[in-house]
Chains A and B, each alone.
Chain A
């Protein structure tokens, strides 16, 4: 057990700390939820790229900083921004999902065209994966693209397209080979959201806000070279990015910050002559959550160590999405309970606490438990991949080709 990063990393950390001290006042406020980064946020992003505190390992020729991947440096960057309470580099779907995909599977031209403006926050992307009939069973997607005069012509509907209204571009899964087996008939297309035939309708959720949209495609024409990977290979292309999304949802620093905010709330919230935290039952729940947050923090350190040794992480990693999302939800639940009747104030009410953020989080985190691979899908993955338990028998026997494709796809999905 050695929790020291070593002197060369201490120097890196010191450098970063003085950078944050010197430039911290240039950081934008409330950047987290804005789909379209403000000009302030774009400037901050450029400054961070220039110093290598975001897009660190993206090659220089594509607009990144061009450093060699170093897990501990990445970890230190996350730790120090979190510690300073400052926003780190942008993390929208373009940056976290499309850029890694293009780096891995995009053509040289696509890399040069798209990565740099995406990193700089100038080009904003949305993701067109889920459909009303294709959620957990994503490969059942039906949005079609047939070829006509050298274009793909797209018809169908996507759902859960967050930031679709603010996005310049979409990366989208469509069925290009209707006669191919389920997983083998999909292609990964990238196109402008200004293309004629696209209609975006806000999807209002239980939070009262429209964090997502439904996106409709009617005869949307996309040149055939706007495909990433080969025709029919979209499922495998997409799985590279699904892995990145899952990694994104388990952030131990975020849990720790939410927990500290909860402690502060319970110490400050007055109940009669005392404080919410003076209630021993609430305090007991708080201590229980603290132990869970600690467990996930050390689990994260263990994964980090495993990664340093070139080990992908095994069970410790498989459980992160399930456990972290649930824990975040429980932290919000306790904040609401500790606030008593004040906990239900919302919609900008008088006496509302923190802009209704705890209620919003409580509801939105339920969305995160469902999204990005539902808790039930996560449990299937843990059981089948982590514990090697048998699969659910299929209702009808699929064609051997389809079966083989599905197995490979699942293996890829689990490995990601």
Chain B
């Protein structure tokens, strides 16, 4: 019995952490976020050298065939460093979907390129959770029509995986005729999302699994977003504790005031169990499929609540400085805000959790 990370996973965590400490300081994040390209090629290639790009690609397609718990370990570090890289969709969700339901031709065309960092794939499944602004994709005769919002890892993608209203996934090259792409600008400039408009676009469908593939992507995506917030929250707590340990007012270190100390303790107390919750949800995805959906809902909704609290409380501990751009604390605040809303906010996800257990139906 060992509830925790294996030695390999701890080494992976430490390697990614060192890599990001070296290659992704806040100044670099700021450059990316304030510039045109939201993603950092420099950080991505440093991660590629560790094999991160192909970690979820099966070994026979040139990847490392690792688990979602491994990916969650990486995501936590990416959140900690607010790293501007297309990890979630290109390197976790797309390989899972393609390995699971892609045709042989789709797999051999895309998986090796994902693994060696040559190709990026965006994922658009927001409408399988909640359709906003009348968005939704209909598929007829191998052609897609309609709008998909919040395609993840949008910028620079070579292709997109798109879910239609029945939950079936389709692979679409970014330059397909009839596809119009429009970026959406969010609070979080370290991520990239956008809108895909389809007008009779010829696509290659993945295997029809009755929506199971899209559901599995939701589960994986939620775990990765929860892990990202776990890392971002860890960073915000550390920053608050550091700041409170240096800043003096009324002739005292402000961290010695209970009012401030207790804010930090509350953050830590709510944060710590999230680590186990996220680990378990990732483990369930890998090893206990019957629990995976509910565990992912719990991890996503609970971290959504906890890290909203951490984000605002850490900012408050920093006082006026926390509110400025100078410290850059807001990059973590916004990263957490993004993680909370994407792939279902807490209320939407809890409604799903209730439905999964039949709570919404009389016996």
User: Chain A: residues with CB nearer than 8 A to chain B?
Assistant: 1-6, 9, 72, 263, 267, 274-275, 277-278, 280, 283-284, 286-288, 290-292, 294-296, 298-299, 301-302, 304-306, 308, 315-316, 319, 322-323, 376, 378-380, 382-384, 386-393
Q: How far is the CA of A128 from the CA of B354 in the complex (A)?
A: 46
In the complex, identify which listed stretch (B1-9, B24-32, B41-49, B162-170) lies at the interface while the others stay far away: B1-9
- Name A's interface SS: helix
C-alpha spacing A65/B297, complex, angstroms: 44
A319 touching B268, Cβ below 8 Å: yes
Query: Which among B69, B252, B266 has the highest number of chain A CB atoms within 10 Å?
Result: B266
B1 x A308 contact (CB < 8 A): yes
Q: Which of B1, B253, B261 has the most CB of A within 10 A?
A: B1
A379:B269 contact, CB within 8 angstroms: yes
On B, residues with C-beta under 8 Å from A are 1-6, 69, 237, 241, 244-245, 252-253, 255-258, 261-262, 264-266, 268-270, 272-277, 279-280, 283, 287, 295, 297-299, 301-302, 305, 346-347, 350-351, 353-354, 359-360, 362-363
Q: How far is the CB of B275 from chain A (nearest CB, A)?
A: 8
Q: Is the CB of B269 within 8 A of A322?
A: yes
Given contacts A1-B283, A283-B360, 10 further A-B contacts (CB under 8 A): A1-B287, A2-B2, A283-B351, A287-B354, A291-B299, A295-B276, A305-B4, A379-B262, A390-B255, A391-B256
- B298 interface neighbour in A275, A291, A323, Cβ under 8 Å: A291
Contact at B258–A392, with CB atoms within 8 Å? yes
Give, as a whole number of angstroms, the nearest-CB distance from B11 to chain A.
15
CB distance from B128 to the nearest CB of A (A): 19
Contact flag A298-B280 (CB < 8 Å), given A280-B351, A288-B305, A389-B241: yes
Instruction: Check B350–A287 contact: CB distance below 8 A.
Output: yes
Closest to B276 in A: A298
Q: Which residues of A contact B301 (CB under 8 A)?
A: 287-288, 291
Q: Is B265 a contact partner of A305 (Cβ separation < 8 A)?
A: no
7 A-B contacts (beta carbon < 8 Å)? A1-B3, A278-B362, A291-B353, A294-B298, A315-B272, A379-B266, A389-B245
Identify A267's interface contact among B256, B262, B351, B363, CB under 8 A: B363
Chain B residues with CB under 8 A of A4: 1
- Given that A284-B351, A294-B295 are contacting pairs, would A302 and B4 also be in contact in the complex, using a CB cutoff of 8 Å? yes
A8 and B252 CA atoms in complex are apart in Å by 57
Contact B2 A305 (CB under 8 A): yes
Question: Which of A286, A302, A387 has most chain B Cβ within 10 Å?
Answer: A387
Residues of chain A with a CB closer than 8 A to B6's CB: 1
CA distance A70 to B244 in the complex (A): 41
Instruction: Say whether A288 contacts B272, CB under 8 Å.
Output: no
Q: In the complex, what residue of chain B is closest to A387 when comparing beta carbons? A: B241
CA distance A126 to B140 in the complex (A): 76
